[in-house]
Amino acid sequence: MFSTKRFALLSLTFGVVTAGGQSRIRDEGIPKAEIAVDYSFMRANATPGKCGCFNLNGGSAEFATRAYRNLSVVADITGDHARTTSIPDQALSVLSYTGGPRFSYPLRHSQRSRITPFVQGLAGVVRGFNAPFPNGNGTISSSANGLAILVGGGVDIAIGHSLAIRALQVDYGLNHVPNNANNTENLLRVSAGLVFRIAEHKRPQA
């Protein structure tokens, strides 16, 4: 449904080019830590090679701590639910726990960095439940666990020293849970919300 390699390549290329193309890395305005609370919309498929598409709605929470210059470490928890999937009247709930690196690049405006684009790559585990999941022995379980991957980025807009709006975040996702085919589901996550910033980082004056 989605071009995995193309989306991941574009995201990673943006981060590498931004980081390597500047003689001086701009890290002013990156918080030492932040907590984001977002609304999450997912478009997913359940049948590999076909769309079989359906929508999920829910929310996510992210905690990020600045590690070095423009690099931060991110932990993400996302929960989404669909009342019906590609199988009529079959619900599905998913809960994922992922973490990984983020590269941010604040844009200077009026002596202050208010707009901060970022790219990130996260990996962890996903738990699907409230739906039938096939086991290898021919039985069915009401829940299943698997590998979860999220690659994407977004834009934060500061509206104060300790508050920002996550105007948009888009991630390509890959979940590995049983599905009677290749045990892989593609998804596109779109989210937006609020970011609570803790102790914004500032470069010391020369």
142 domain-assigned? yes
Full residue range of the structural domain in which residue 133 is found: 4-22+31-200
Q: Would 205 be classed as within a structural domain?
A: no
Could you tell me the pTM of the whole model? 0.78
Number of structural domains, the chain? Answer: 1
Q: What pLDDT does 14 receive?
A: 46
In 184-198, which positions are buried (b, 16+ CB within 10 angstroms) versus exposed (e)?
ebbbbbbbbbebebe
Residue ranges in the chain whose pLDDT is less than 50: 1-2, 4-10, 12-24, 48, 204-206
53 in a structural domain: yes
Question: Is residue 206 in a domain?
Answer: no
Alpha carbon 106 to its chain's center? 19
Closest CA to 28 of 138, 137, 113, 129: 113
Quick check: 43 and 187 in contact, CB under 8 A?
yes
Residue-wise pLDDT for 47-90, tens only, equals 545 566 889 999 999 999 999 999 999 999 999 998 877 777 77
Q: What is the CATH number of the domain that holds 175?
A: 2.40.160.20
